[in-house]
Amino acid sequence: MTDENAAERVQNRAESLAPALGRAWTDDRPWTLLTDLTAIGGRMGGSDEERRAAEVVADAMRDGGVEDVRIEPFEMNAWERGTSELAVTVETAGGDEDRNGTTRTFETVALPYSPSGAVQGELVDVGYGTPDEVDEVDVEGRIAVASTTTPSGSRFIHRMEKFSYAVAQGALGFVFVNHLDGQLPPTGSLTFGREADAVAVGVSKESGAWLREYASNTPGPVATVDLSVAAETHPAESRNVVGHVGPETDERVLLLAHFDGHDIAEGALDNGCGIATAVTAAGLLADADLPVGVDVAGVGSEEVGLLGAERLAETTDLAGVKAVVNVDGAGRFRNLVALAHDSVATERVAEAVATATRQPIETRSEPHPFSDQWPFVRRGIPALQLHSDSGERGRGWGHTHADTRDKIDDRNVREHAMLTALLVAELAEPDREVPRLDLAALAATFREAEFETGMRAADLWPPAWE
């Protein structure tokens, strides 16, 4: 089947769904779901707030027409925040008595899976925190200071890569500096579900400017840093919410989004918008005459290591899963982005839907291991990750105190839900061939994008790729 024929089929599908799509323009249920989730506040993996969020998502699925909705608990390691402190004691060459011995403290947010502990030493500025930049300076016995963003023109380098590589090179601790204004210290997990090997905190851009000035490898006064974190990692229970729309068929498409968030904010953008988009799309698909069934899942504990998606991949008969659609980041901003994760077939599906609907869906082929498609992609299952960009490099308000409901325009959620439903429906078509990923070729793509060093440091490089 040509892509032109596919676009025509998508257009016909949209026409058949016209009543349901029309109702989506004024449907208040996406906003209600967003409101109910953000009113809970932080939905940290393994917390009571995440449990309540699972119940909210299950109710919203049932209300939208998803069948056989159930909550499936699973065991995981929860991380519980205590306190964190960063103090800088300045010593000046030249004997400035007014400044010698002066101690300054800076607001911090501990990064999930940071262990409890206290370290003392010099700061070292590692710039963006890329492996090359870490290698250019001596981090041994020092506390590395790295930015949340990455150099223009390069792929986005994840926090886990930066932290893990710096610690592997001997750093005692890690300070993650927001690159955006607003006195917003960032958070984000250091590992996939286990206690990390060094203490780590986030600080605002404004605090980071001072810390870089105090770093041992930059001009300025000599400083000693005391960095401490109090936290606990303990056994707990997280949850997935699963259901089904369409016929019961051996072959099926999996639509998923995570509903957990970080404990410092409401998690409206990340991923309140995504789960609202997915649940709304599932409701539209419930009204469609699908040839292949669609499993629907709200997954927990994404923010602390993709733990819900990993559990789902382990307990699902993947032989019957044709493709995965992961809604992480859709609904936030105006235009939809479809990340194909090295699958030509899923990229063409996104292009066909964009052509049929005349909606500007940007497609990107490159893969990454830091969202819920990863447990499936690394097993060879083709995927689309649905996202949307603000135009800013990095996460924007995500992973900060500012990730709140007032940032949301739910028109984006409703429109992206319509497009998501059409994408899933096209993937479900029997004539739409979606070949399994070639794992050797996938590994080569990751190596070409220079993921291997950071992923190995973070213990994320699949053993099967050796």
Over residues 85-98, the mean pLDDT reads 74
Closest-CA residue to 215 (of 142, 118, 319): 142
Tokens representing residue 339 in the block: 């990340």
C-alpha–C-alpha distance, residues 114 and 118, integer Å: 11
pLDDT for residue 324 is more than 90: yes
**Which amino acid, residue 67?**
E
Looking at the domain that runs over 79-234, which CATH code has it been given? 3.50.30.30
- List pLDDT tens digits, range 219-261: 878 799 999 999 999 999 999 999 999 999 999 999 999 999 9
Task: List beta partners, residue 297.
Answer: 242, 256
3-state secondary structure of 296: strand
Classified by CATH at the fold level, domain 3-78+235-457 comes out as: Aminopeptidase (3.40.630)
pLDDT for residue 163 is more than 70: yes
pLDDT for residue 99 is more than 60: no
pLDDT for residue 2 is more than 70: no
Q: For residue 246, give the DSSP letter.
A: S
Over residues 133-138, the mean pLDDT reads 97
Question: Which of 50-64, 87-101, 159-173, 238-252 bottoms out in mean pLDDT, i.e. has the lowest?
Answer: 87-101
How far is CA 117 from each of CA 170, 196, 227, rounded to the nearest angstrom?
16, 11, 8
pLDDT for residue 68 is more than 80: yes
* Pairing label, strands 67-91, 222-245: antiparallel
- List pLDDT tens digits, range 406-447: 999 999 999 999 999 999 999 999 999 999 999 999 999 999
Q: What is the mean pLDDT of the chain?
A: 94
Domain boundaries, the chain: 3-78+235-457, 79-234
* Pairing label, strands 123-125, 117-121: unpaired
pLDDT above 90 coverage of the chain, percent: 87
pLDDT for residue 100 is more than 70: no
C-alpha–C-alpha distance, residues 162 and 334, integer Å: 30
pLDDT above 70 coverage of the chain, percent: 97
Radius of gyration, alpha carbons of the chain:
23
Over residues 346-363, the mean pLDDT reads 96
pLDDT for residue 287 is more than 70: yes
The better pLDDT of the pair 20, 134 is held by 134
- Output the pTM of the full model: 0.95
Place of tokens 């710039």: 127
Q: List, as one string, the DSSP characters of 201-243.
A: EEE-HHHHHHHHHTSTTSSS-EEEEEEEEEEEEEEEEEEEEEE
pLDDT for residue 94 is more than 70: no
Predicted local distance difference test score (pLDDT) of residue 220:
79
Predicted local distance difference test score (pLDDT) of residue 393:
63
Residues 154/158/160/165 CA torsion (nearest 10 deg): 10
C-alpha–C-alpha distance, residues 148 and 402, integer Å: 16
pLDDT for residue 113 is more than 60: yes
**One fold for 3-78+235-457 and 79-234:** no
Q: List, as one string, the DSSP characters of 244-284.
A: EES---SSEEEEEEE----TTS--IIIIIHHHHHHHHHHHH
Secondary structure of 372-410 in HEC code, one letter for each residue: CCHHHHCCCCCEEEEEECCCCCCCCCCCCCCCCHHHCCH
Predicted local distance difference test score (pLDDT) of residue 151:
86
Closest-CA residue to 116 (of 226, 233, 202, 203): 233
Question: Which of 47-51, 389-393, 440-444 bottoms out in mean pLDDT, i.e. has the lowest?
Answer: 389-393
